[in-house]
Amino acid sequence: MIIPAQAVYYVVFFETRYDSLEDALSKAPDVIAAHMARSKELHAQGKLLMAGAFLNNNSGEPLGTMGICPTREAAEEFANGDPFVLNGMVSKWYIREWANLFD
């Protein structure tokens, strides 16, 4: 199967040091505000298409979030400049290529 270039996106996965979204909201409201403002700015520039946190974590699993970007460069920019990453609140992150079935 050949995937057209426009159908490939780059997904950034973050594993945070928080137990849940509520935990992060209560412990790091300023960092979340900075993260959201930056994410909205990147979205307005077309560098971040979608982003958000996974809800209903499995027991013992840390809060995970993700962002979908149109290019690897945008994904790396999103990850490397994220306030959670810069403040040591992400234990690991990685980028995976993703093929959109509907493009």
Contact 51, 65 (CB under 8 A): yes
Domain carrying residue 33: 5-99
Q: At what angle do helices 29-44 and 72-80 cross, to 10 degrees?
A: 160
Check: CB of residue 69 under 8 Å from CB of residue 93. no
The CATH number covering residue 74 comes to: 3.30.70.1060
pLDDT tens for the 103 residues of the chain, in order: 454 556 899 999 999 999 988 999 999 999 999 999 999 999 999 999 999 999 876 778 899 999 999 999 999 999 999 999 999 999 999 999 999 887 5
* Total tally of structural domains belonging to the chain: 1
Give just the sign of the alpha carbon dihedral 98, 51, 75, 16. negative
Please tell me the pTM assigned to this model: 0.87
